[in-house]
């Protein structure tokens, strides 16, 4: 293993020599602390001439801060989550920080591993869309690191903030709508990673279905359009096809569309489809996918604001509840 490439970058020592100051003074000067305006200017000048910029790694080791925010996604196979990750990445850049994006791929064990790695990387904060909100790790991490959760609140963890989806409301919105349209037998397609016992959203589905007198059939959908299509195909092709499919993400709903197309079934005539997320593409389908909309921009802004504030040492600890709206398009009709 060779030593690192020959680095010709200027170090703080060289700037110190160039200005006749000590390295400490240069360090202070460049961060505008405890030094006279005049030397600050002198140091700036010299630094610019030498093309000096503080080495982020050395700085991280010495100060414990990196400027990076960890972003731990539940499953990036999901298009909506891709958009979310992209949005957060961009919003962080606008605040002169950047995101270290990792993908738990729906696996709680991997989620824990990655969370620890992020902590070891000394991220200044962590945004997580938890697969397993009940993992004890969160409490432990939140002790030493600002953690902001998106989606579900972390259990027993002193987070720096939470952007919680009112899934109870979202589920109610969706199921009541289906009920109104006349559906009784509806398939519920949830992502594989609802493996988490008692995942809040699932609990709400059962409760609401009971309240509304719906006959539901919960099916877990694997990741990826192809895989989802296969599962959806099996469901639609079975003897006991439900009249509607409530998909726990728009990506899953896309799989149902694809399966329906393959089988020559029409949406919503043969099968009604309800999404959850409201991805931009949903409006382009024929018929448009009726979905439960979450304000993605609002979520991005809130999460970034919270994590950056906490990373800067402010103490907010706010819980922001996201209210869903039903975005009605054309994918739900009366049962056939």
Partner DNA sequence: ACGGTTCACTGATTCGATTCAGTGAACCGC
Partner DNA sequence: GCGGTTCACTGAATCGAATCAGTGAACCGT
Query: Taking CB under 7 A as the rule, does residue 321 contact DNA?
Result: no
CB of 226 to a second copy, least distance (A): 8
Task: Please tell me whether residue 239 binds DNA under the rule CB under 7 A.
Answer: no
The single residue among 122, 169, 185, 318 that binds a second copy, judged by CB under 8 A, is: 122
Q: Which of 10, 101, 263, 320 binds a second copy (CB under 8 A)?
A: 101
At closest approach, how far in Å is the CB of 220 from DNA?
40
Residue pointed to by tokens 């003074």: 25
Contact region for a second copy (CB under 8 A) — 77-85, 147-155, 167-175, 240-248? 77-85
Considering only 53, 180, 215, 269, the residue that binds a second copy (CB under 8 A) is: 53
267 sits in the region (left: phi over 0; alpha: psi -120 to 50; else beta) called: beta
Contact pick of 41, 46, 61, 202 for DNA (by CB under 7 A):
61
Contact partner at residue 20 from DNA, a second copy, none, CB < 5 to 8 Å by partner kind: DNA
Instruction: Give the contacts of 209 (CB within 8 A, at least 6 positions apart).
Output: 175, 186, 188, 215, 216
| Region for 239 from its dihedrals, namely left if φ exceeds 0, alpha if ψ lies in -120 to 50, beta otherwise | alpha
From residue 12 to residue 51, the character string flagging contacts with DNA as x (rule: CB under 7 A) and all else as - is xx------xxxxxx-xxxxx--xxx-xx------------
Nearer to DNA, 30 or 259 (CB): 30
**If binding is defined by CB under 8 A, does position 2 make contact with a second copy?**
yes
* Cα–Cα distances in angstroms (integers) from residue 190 to residues 37, 39, 223, 246, in the given order: 60, 61, 10, 9
Closest of 137, 150, 133, 131 to residue 91, by C-alpha? 150
CA dist 335 and 271 (Å) reads 7
Question: Does an H or E element contain 294, and which?
Answer: none
Look up residue 94 and give its DSSP letter.
Answer: T
Non-local CB neighbours of 165 within 8 Å, separated by 6+ positions: 150, 151, 152, 294, 322, 324
Residue 186 binding result from DNA, a second copy, none, given CB thresholds of 5 to 8 Å by partner type: none
Element (H, E) at 290: strand 290-293
What burial letters (b/e) apply to 315-328, b meaning 16+ CB within 10 Å?
Answer: eeeeebebebebbe
- By CB under 8 A, what part of segment 172-231 binds a second copy? 225
> Which of DNA, a second copy, none does residue 39 bind (CB under 5 to 8 Å by kind)?
DNA
Residue found by looking up tokens 């728009």 in the block: 250
* Nearer Cβ to DNA (25/100): 25
Q: Does 281 bind a second copy (CB under 8 A)?
A: yes
**Site membership for a second copy, residue 159 (CB under 8 A):** no
Q: Binding of DNA at residue 266 (CB under 7 A)?
A: no
What's the sign of the alpha-carbon dihedral 196, 202, 207, 209? negative
> Whats the size of the chain, residue-wise?
336
Query: If binding is defined by CB under 8 A, does position 58 make contact with a second copy?
Result: yes
Q: Does 330 bind a second copy (CB under 8 A)?
A: no
Tokens of 261: 């197309």
3-class DSSP state of 40: helix
Kindly list the residues in this chain that would bind DNA in the complex (CB under 7 A). Answer: 1, 3, 7, 9-13, 20-25, 27-31, 34-36, 38-39, 52-55, 58-59, 61-63
Binding site for a second copy (CB under 8 A): 1-7, 53, 55-58, 60-61, 63-66, 76-77, 79, 82-83, 86, 89-90, 93, 98-103, 105, 117, 120-122, 144-145, 225, 254, 257-258, 261, 280-281, 283-286, 313
């Amino acid at each position: 293993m060779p030593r690192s490439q020959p680095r010709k970058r200027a170090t703080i020592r060289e700037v110190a020599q160039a200005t006749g100051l000590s390295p400490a003074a240069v360090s202070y000067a460049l961060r505008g602390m405890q030094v006279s305006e005049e030397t600050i200017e002198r140091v700036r000048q010299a630094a610019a001439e030498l093309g000096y910029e503080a080495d982020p790694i050395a700085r991280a080791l010495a100060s414990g801060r990196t400027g990076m925010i960890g972003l731990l996604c539940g499953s990036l196979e999901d298009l909506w989550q891709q958009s979310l990750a992209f949005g957060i990445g961009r919003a962080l850049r606008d605040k002169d920080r950047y995101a270290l994006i990792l993908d738990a791929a729906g696996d709680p064990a991997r989620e824990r591993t990655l969370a620890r790695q992020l902590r070891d990387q000394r991220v200044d904060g962590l945004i997580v869309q938890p697969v397993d909100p009940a993992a004890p790790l969160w409490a432990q991490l939140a002790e030493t690191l600002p953690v902001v959760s998106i989606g579900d609140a972390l259990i027993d963890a002193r987070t720096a903030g939470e952007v919680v989806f009112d899934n109870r409301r979202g589920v109610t919105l969706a199921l009541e709508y289906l009920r109104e349209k006349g559906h009784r037998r509806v398939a519920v397609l949830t992502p594989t990673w609802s493996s988490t016992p008692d995942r809040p959203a699932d609990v709400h589905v059962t409760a609401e279905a009971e309240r509304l007198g719906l006959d539901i059939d919960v099916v877990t959908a694997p990741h990826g359009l192809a895989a989802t299509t296969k599962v959806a195909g099996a469901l639609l092709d079975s003897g006991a096809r439900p009249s509607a499919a409530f998909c726990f993400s728009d990506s899953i709903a896309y799989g149902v569309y694809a399966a329906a197309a393959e089988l020559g079934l029409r949406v919503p005539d043969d099968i009604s489809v309800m999404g959850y997320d409201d991805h931009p593409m949903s409006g382009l389908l024929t018929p448009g996918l009726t979905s439960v909309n979450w304000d993605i921009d609002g979520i991005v802004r809130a999460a970034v604001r919270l994590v950056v504030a906490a990373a800067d040492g402010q103490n907010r600890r706010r819980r922001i509840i996201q209210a869903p709206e039903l975005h009605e398009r054309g994918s739900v009709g009366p049962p056939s």
